[in-house]
Amino acid sequence: MYACSKFTHSLIRSTSQLLSRPLSAIWTDEGLSSLVAPCPLTSHIPSCSFQTSIISRDIDTATKFSGAGAATVRVAGSGAGIGTVLGSLIIGYARNPSLKQQLFSYMSLGFALSEAMGLFCLMVAFLILFMM
């Protein structure tokens, strides 16, 4: 098992060096000699770094949009919270109309807190999209 792991490591390294080169460079420039002896890793760096930067940019963009979408979904939760607060106000007022002023002050506080959370989440979504 130990001898096989040594062989596997060198096989993977030489295969990855061979596969990281463009196919046209293998067949036209060097013929079949590159299949036998892999070239140094430093010749592969420019092509790999260019491909990695494009993929990295795409992943960063996808992550931005996912984070902004998740933050925007919370704004819908704020709307649900406002609806719950107003619904509870109507039920409380229907049960005891004499507490109208006290119920209205609690409703205003609940409405403000719920709306503030929604605005904070919307602000985070815009920060994710435009600042990062």
Q: What is the mean pLDDT of each run of 10 residues along the chain (132 residues)?
A: 54 56 53 54 51 73 87 83 86 89 85 86 87 77
Please report the pLDDT score of residue 95 as a whole number.
92
Question: What DSSP assignment string belongs to 3-29?
Answer: HHHHHHHHHHHHHHHHHTS-HHIIIII
For domain 53-131, which CATH number applies: 3.30.300.30, 1.20.20.10, 3.30.420.40, 3.50.50.60? 1.20.20.10
Output the pTM of the full model.
0.47
Structure-token pair, residue 105: 């002050």
Domain ranges of the chain: 1-39, 53-131
